[in-house]
């Protein structure tokens, strides 16, 4: 085995990724598979998960699509059983499901007083509980074996809240906090074999933010311009730019790394704007 493989290979590992059907998630699925892991792609859209699994299996990897809502314990337990029946273990959990919801964003001409509390709760539930509950259920084999890792997906909104996006910002700040809490909890209760880290992507064009950041003719909205002006690299991220950070955090190369949130953001979180 080459030096780099001994550090970063995910061969013989089984990875589960919620939100594996999404834009960033599907790119992370490919990264895990390319690094040697067998991958279970979890999402509510089973057809999309199956299609991606087929693509991976056809190109020499091993993957299955599994249907589950990250807020439904029964569906997550069924998903765990399906994955264990097929692959026999779970070593890596990526909590990739999440996103903002239009109702939880305050429109430009409205104020905080117009915030719909139901939408606020939904977005907090999806992004926070939607990582906590899968960690309890899908990462239970990791705790039983005292071996493996959990990767959460945080956001730029966790460092400094983003205007108008109150629920998502609060939930992602909570994800960074939960990552640190879990890192300590896992190490103290189960030992150093379990690591918990997070990736905070900068701004990547995906379905959840495309209309907020770009116009129908491919230009930038005012908000899109504000994002680009605040990104020292002057562009949005490309999904495959998360791959090497993900593989590193999941691999033995990061075996003394736990509780960190790694920004992959073209410099956004370091820039004061001046
Ligand atoms: N795009 C960005 O710039 C950016 C920046 C920072 C962080 N993030 C985070 O990165 C993650 C992926 O986002 P994305 O941009 O790739 O968005 P996306 O393409 O909209 O993907 C969202 C994923 O979440 C899944 N999902 C949503 N609700 C779910 C539920 N109740 N149960 C199970 N799965 C559910 C969706 O799968 P199904 O529809 O199949 O259920 C989909 O795979 C999210 O956590 C997001 O907050 C994105």
CB distance 183 to 137 below 8 Å: no
In this structure, the answer to whether residues 164 and 70 fall within a common structural domain is: yes
Query: Is the per-residue pLDDT at 136 higher than 90?
Result: yes
Residue 271 lies in a domain: no
Strands 92-95 and 63-67, by their bridges, are: unpaired
Residue having the nearest C-alpha atom to atom 33 of ligand 1? 69
Which is the closest atom of ligand 1 to the Cα of 155?
6
Same domain flag for 161 and 137: yes
Q: Is 3 a catalytic residue?
A: no
Ligand 1, atom 15, lies closest to the CA of 206
The per-residue pLDDT for 211 is: 83
Has residue 274 been placed in a domain? Answer: no
CA-nearest residue for atom 35, ligand 1, is 97
168 in the same domain as 66? yes
pLDDT of 110: 96
Whether the per-residue pLDDT at 114 is higher than 90: the answer is yes
Q: Are residues 59 and 72 in the same domain?
A: yes
208 falls in which pLDDT band (50, 70, 90)? Answer: confident
Rounded average pLDDT over 102-118: 92
> What is the whole-number distance in angstroms between the Cα of residue 146 and the centre of ligand 1?
28
Q: For 59-105, how does the pLDDT look when each residue is reduced to its tens digit (9 = 90+)?
A: 999 999 999 999 999 999 999 999 999 999 999 999 999 999 888 89
Query: Alpha-carbon distance 138 to 223, whole Å?
Result: 37
Residues 57 and 189 in one domain: yes
Domain total of the chain: 2
For ligand 1, what atom is nearest to the CA of residue 70?
32
Q: What is the pTM of this model?
A: 0.98
183 and 223 together in one domain = no
Q: Give yes or no: residues 46 and 117 share one domain.
A: yes
Q: Using the CB atoms, write b or e for 195-216: b if 16+ within 10 Å.
A: bbbbbbbbbbbbebbeebbbee
Tell me: do 63 and 154 sit in the same domain. yes
Which of 50, 53, 97, 242 to probe ligand 1 with, by most ligand atoms within 8 A of CB?
Answer: 97
Per cent of the chain over pLDDT 70 is 100
β-partners of residue 206 are: none
Based on the domain organization, do 100 and 196 belong to the same domain? yes
Distance CA 271, CA 147 (A): 37
Closest ligand 1 atom to the C-alpha of 201?
A: 6
Residue 243 lies in a domain: yes
Check whether residue 50 and residue 61 sit in a common domain: yes
Q: Which residues form ligand 1's pocket by a CB distance below 6 Å?
A: 18-19, 21-25, 43-45, 48, 69-71, 96-99, 126, 130, 153, 155, 201, 203-204, 206-209
Same domain, 120 and 222: no
Residue 152 sits in the same domain as residue 180: yes
Name every residue whose Cβ is closer than 8 Å to that of residue 219 and which is 6 or more positions away in sequence: none
Ligand 1 atom closest to the CA of 69, numbered from 1:
32
Give the Å distance between the CA of 189 and the centre of ligand 1: 30
Instruction: Please state the φ and ψ torsions of residue 9, each to the nearest 5 degrees.
Output: -65, 140
Structural tokens at position 241: 């730019």
Structural domain includes residue 273: no
Q: What confidence tier does 207 reach under pLDDT thresholds 50, 70, 90?
A: confident
Model confidence over 173-196: pLDDT tens digits? Answer: 999 999 999 999 999 999 999 999
Which residue's CA is minimally distant from atom 45 of ligand 1?
A: 98
**79 in a domain, yes or no?**
yes
- Of 3, 159, 168, 271, the catalytic one is 168
Distance from chain centroid for Cα 119: 21
List strand residue ranges (DSSP E) for 117-161, in order.
148-153
Mean pLDDT of all residues belonging to the chain: 96
> Which CATH number does the domain housing residue 102 bear?
3.40.50.720
Domain presence at residue 109: yes
Q: What is the DSSP letter of 44?
A: S
Does some domain include residue 49? yes
Considering only CA atoms, which residue is closest to atom 1 of ligand 1? 204
| Domain assignment of residue 270, yes or no | no
- Determine the structural domain holding residue 221 and report its residue range: 208-236
Q: Please determine, for residue 212, whether its predicted confidence score (pLDDT) is greater than 90.
A: no
């Amino acid at each position: 085995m080459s030096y780099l493989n001994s550090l970063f290979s995910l061969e013989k590992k089984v990875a589960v990724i919620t939100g594996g059907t999404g834009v960033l998630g599907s790119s992370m699925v490919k990264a895990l598979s390319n690094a040697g892991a067998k991958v279970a792609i979890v999402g509510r859209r089973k057809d999309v998960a199956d299609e991606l699994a087929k693509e991976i299996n056809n190109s020499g990897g091993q993957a299955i699509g599994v249907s589950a809502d990250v807020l439904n314990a029964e569906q997550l337990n069924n998903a765990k059983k399906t994955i264990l029946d097929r692959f026999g273990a779970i070593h890596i959990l990526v909590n990739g499901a999440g996103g903002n919801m239009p109702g939880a964003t305050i429109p430009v001409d409205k104020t905080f007083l117009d915030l719909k509390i139901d939408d606020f709760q939904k977005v907090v539930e999806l992004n926070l509980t939607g990582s906590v509950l899968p960690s309890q259920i899908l990462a239970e084999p990791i705790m039983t074996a005292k071996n493996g890792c959990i990767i959460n997906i945080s956001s730029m909104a966790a460092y400094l809240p983003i205007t108008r996006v109150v629920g998502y910002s609060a939930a992602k700040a909570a994800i960074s906090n939960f990552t640190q809490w879990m890192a300590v909890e896992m190490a103290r209760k189960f030992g150093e074999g379990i690591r918990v880290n997070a990736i905070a992507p900068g701004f990547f064009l995906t379905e959840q933010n495309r209309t907020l950041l770009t116009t129908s003719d491919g230009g930038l909205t005012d908000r899109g311009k504000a994002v680009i002006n605040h990104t020292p690299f002057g562009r949005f991220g490309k999904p495959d730019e998360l791959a090497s950070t993900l593989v590193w955090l999941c691999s033995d190369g990061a075996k003394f790394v736990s509780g960190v949130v790694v920004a992959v953001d073209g410099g956004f979180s370091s820039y004061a704007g001046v």
